[in-house]
Chains A and B, each alone.
Chain A
Amino acid sequence: MTARLRKTAGSLVLALIAVLTACTSYTEIPIETPIQPKLDVSPFQRIFIAGFIAGANDDVDANMETVRLLRSQLRNKGVMRVIDADTLPLMDIARQQNGADGTAAPVPDQQAVQPPQDDKPPVINDEKDLEQYQHIFANTAYWKKIGEEYQQPLIVTGSILFAPQQRSGFVQREQESYDPFGRRVVTPVRTYMERKGFVLRPTFVFIDGRTGETLHSETFREEVLYNANQQTPALSSYFELMDRLLPAFLNTLSAQKIKGTRTLLK
């Protein structure tokens, strides 16, 4: 009797599962969502990555690396013609524009700016150090002059802070083990860890080369932390972090498709 009951119950459960499966039929499908660009770049045929005010790491020249990376990415995208010219010595120009008495000097001739011979390169360790140079991005006369020099392109400039960081605390990680039946079990465990890594905080400023006015400005922040024992070169961390924010940067200038998966229901 009990066996028969068990059999009936088993059949009922199977039937129920079959009905439920039929009711909740679904299909997964890959989709690509187009995101429109933030800036209307149609008035520009050329783009000039003018350079960045950068600092905070001796191992990586964040200015030059960013200029190289953005130029190559934009060339690959083919959004506009990328101007291949020397970067502007923005820090020196900003310091000259500031003047000894703190007042803005007249628009300097970019070629005439000579880096101080006896001075060491200025140290930029944090956002506060960058502040003294920020005024250069608002100098419309200067950027208009640069624009005239390069046939009125869209100018990309800004500041980049790439700094090491150290943090310690509890982190959650997954621990793998095997149960008595030999099955793999993953359990989350909290452990105290000393970690070090880098933080990348770029601000991209997009300037209209026809007027010298800022069209758009965007700040990003990305960080990466490794186990303190792990030796990761600063340059590889820099590229890892830039890789994360490049899609967002490129989406300012061109439409982008975001890949994903959705569920279609019947």
Chain B
Amino acid sequence: MFLRPLVLALLLAVVSAPSAWADERGQAKKQVEFGIQVAQRGLWKEAIYRWERAAQLDPTYAAAFNNLAVAYEHEGQLAKARDAYEKALRLEPNNSLVRQNYDLFKEINDRAAQKDGR
């Protein structure tokens, strides 16, 4: 008798979990798309804000981290860019577009590191 509400609650949680996840992904996707629009107009700071928001909403969304990395790179924040690229690659290790971005980034980052004697 006592178990019935508990089972019901659990069932409800299991059933609603994917829809909550879909909702977060949907919101994150909107932020990502808006971020792309503003980045294309050169408003990189606003784009960073949007993509950071997307990454908070859905920490499993590789595109948000990839875009964030690109924006950090554009702003010269190379350490942050590296972290974001690595996070994106951990989430989607086989994503060739993220890999390509990361390889191009590394080329520049290594050059900068060489200059700093790091």
Interchain CB contact (< 8 A) of A258 among B32, B33, B108: B108
Residue-wise, chain A 82-97 has the 8 Å CB interface mask toward B (1 for contact) of 0000000000000000
Instruction: Kindly state whether residue A32 has any CB partner on chain B within 8 Å.
Output: yes
Asked if A251 and B32 make an inter-chain contact with CB atoms under 8 angstroms apart, the answer reads no
Chain B interface, >50% SS class: helix
Q: Which of B74-109 contact A (CB under 8 A)?
A: 74-76, 78, 95, 97-98, 100-101, 104-105, 108
In the assembly, what is the distance between CA of A36 and CA of B97, in Å?
Answer: 27
Instruction: Kindly state whether residue B57 has any CB partner on chain A within 8 Å.
Output: no
Asked if B97 and A265 make an inter-chain contact with CB atoms under 8 angstroms apart, the answer reads yes
Asked if A29 and B40 make an inter-chain contact with CB atoms under 8 angstroms apart, the answer reads yes
In the complex, what residues of A have CB within 8 A of residue B101's CB?
Answer: 262-263
Asked if B115 and A264 make an inter-chain contact with CB atoms under 8 angstroms apart, the answer reads no
Interchain CB contact (< 8 A) of B40 among A27, A33, A38, A252: A27
In the complex, what residues of B have CB within 8 A of residue A36's CB?
Answer: 76, 112
Asked if B63 and A265 make an inter-chain contact with CB atoms under 8 angstroms apart, the answer reads yes
Asked if B112 and A35 make an inter-chain contact with CB atoms under 8 angstroms apart, the answer reads yes
Nearest CB of B to A22, in Å: 12
Residue of A nearest to B95 (CB): A265
Instruction: Kindly state whether residue A31 has any CB partner on chain B within 8 Å.
Output: yes
Q: Which of A222-266 contact B (CB under 8 A)?
A: 251-252, 258, 260, 262-266
Nearest CB of B to A34, in Å: 4
Interchain CB contact (< 8 A) of B97 among A33, A38, A251, A263: A263
In the assembly, what is the distance between CA of A259 and CA of B97, in Å?
Answer: 18
Instruction: Kindly state whether residue B73 has any CB partner on chain A within 8 Å.
Output: yes
In the complex, what residues of A have CB within 8 A of residue B62's CB?
Answer: 265
Interchain CB contact (< 8 A) of A29 among B63, B70, B97, B104: B70
In the complex, what residues of A have CB within 8 A of residue B98's CB?
Answer: 265
Q: Which B residues fall within an 8 A CB radius of A? A: 29, 32-33, 36, 39-40, 62-63, 66-67, 70, 73-76, 78, 95, 97-98, 100-101, 104-105, 108, 111-112, 115-116
Taking A33-B78, A258-B108, A266-B33 as known contacts, 20 extra A-B pairs with beta carbons closer than 8 A to each other, sorted by chain A number, are A24-B97, A27-B40, A31-B73, A34-B75, A34-B76, A35-B76, A35-B111, A35-B112, A36-B76, A38-B116, A252-B115, A262-B70, A262-B101, A263-B100, A264-B63, A264-B66, A265-B32, A265-B62, A265-B67, A266-B32
Chosen A-B contacts, 9 in total, with CB atoms closer than 8 Å, are A29-B36, A29-B70, A32-B74, A33-B73, A33-B76, A35-B115, A262-B101, A264-B36, A264-B39
Identify the 9 closest CB pairs spanning chains A and B, nearest first.
Answer: A265-B63, A34-B76, A31-B74, A262-B70, A38-B115, A263-B97, A264-B67, A262-B101, A35-B112
